Amino acid sequence: MIAAKVRNALSLDYPRALLEVIVACDGCSDRTAARAREAGADLVLELARGGKIRAQDAAVERARGEIVAFSDANAAWQPDAARALVGAFADARVGYACGQVRFTRAADAGSGAPNQEGVYWRYELAVRELESRLCSITAGNGAIYATRREAYVVVDPVMGHDLALPFKMVKRGLRAVYVPRARASEKMVPSLAGEFARKRRMMSHTWPIVLRGGMLSPRGYPPAYALMIFSHRVLRYCTPALHVLALAANVALLAMGAGTLYWLTLALQLALALAALLGGAVRSPPLLIARYYVLTTASPAAGLWDWLRGGTSAWWDAAEGTR
């Protein structure tokens, strides 16, 4: 992927004299560095493996520009993406800008593809745009984002930029914005099992940010932003526990002689679980969406278990099928 990524960066509609392409190799043992140089990268850093965050830190230390932009190796930017992303920094209050990434899959996958990430992602992007218009976004994505070099924050290597940088910018009095005109595409994990594993890994990096990374402290948050952090982030990550609580409350109410309404809500909860179970065998979009919802809702609990049991590594392997 790396040669294609470097060529993609060099083909952007952006003045070449103002563009510096840096490839940070995190302990690569193959020909990644050589292929990046052959493709025309301005600087290739061959680093001991320390994880994505430390590789990015090293690249920022060597970067010469006022704006540092980041991307995944398998993300392709549209020609005008860099101009659109950098344009957000014309506002002196902006410290972080995130573009729009669209997930792609095989043309023959159709609506019956096991992984229904695209359905969720469209909802997430709509919410992100509203957050940006109201105040600041609560999270970004690793495929296409940028910060002012002077505002770049060095974080714990297990705490990814996607979640840590936006709220830390807000705490410093800056805005974190969404720029939908800055577009990139990235290959989707083909299987739902792979998507669950990816989200489980992501959540093992998320919980350290939430519980000890400063997210829960309201200091520095405007009121609207504090509400968005609580509703869009904290409550979302607590969804597994909230589902269990809803089911337990439902059963308890029925045991106390509650009326027909609670039989209906119990039936709906059981129908969701049954649809998710059937979605493993029948490729029907409603069943697949139910299965996607149940598994990805379980991922915060699985990620929390992984973190509490064994901690979180600063590095990880690419999800299968995304290259």
Q: Where are the domains of the chain?
A: 2-193
DSSP three-state, residue 108:
coil
Token code pair at residue 187: 């290959």
How many whole angstroms from its chain centre is CA 92? 25
Q: Are 71 and 37 in contact (CB under 8 A)?
A: no
For residue range 267-315, list pLDDT tens digits in order.
999 999 999 999 888 888 899 999 999 999 999 999 999 999 988 888 7
CATH superfamily of 2-193: Spore Coat Polysaccharide Biosynthesis Protein SpsA; Chain A (3.90.550.10)
Token code pair at residue 138: 């609560």
Q: From the CA atom positions of the chain, what is the Rg in Å?
A: 21
For residue range 211-264, list pLDDT tens digits in order.
999 999 999 999 999 999 999 999 999 999 999 999 999 999 999 998 899 999
- Average pLDDT (140-144) is 95
Return the half-sphere exposure (C-beta side, CA atoms, 13 A cut-off) of residue 215. Answer: 29
Kindly indicate the confidence band of residue 321, based on its pLDDT and cuts at 50, 70 and 90.
low
pLDDT of residue 55: 96
Percent of the chain with pLDDT over 90: 83
Count other C-beta atoms under 10 Å from residue 274's C-beta: 12
pLDDT of residue 108: 47
Burial of 123 (C-beta count, 10 Å sphere; 0-12/13-18/19+): exposed
Which CA distances in Å does 249 have to 182, 256, 263, 267? 45, 10, 12, 14
Beta-carbon contacts of residue 261 (< 8 Å; ≥ 6 apart) = none
Average pLDDT, the chain: 93
Kindly indicate the confidence band of residue 109, based on its pLDDT and cuts at 50, 70 and 90.
low
pLDDT of residue 320: 65
pLDDT of residue 319: 66
With CA atoms as reference, report the closest residue to 160 among 216, 210, 231, 95.
210
Kindly indicate the confidence band of residue 192, based on its pLDDT and cuts at 50, 70 and 90.
confident
- Average pLDDT (189-208) is 91
Token code pair at residue 18: 């103002």
Token code pair at residue 186: 């990235």
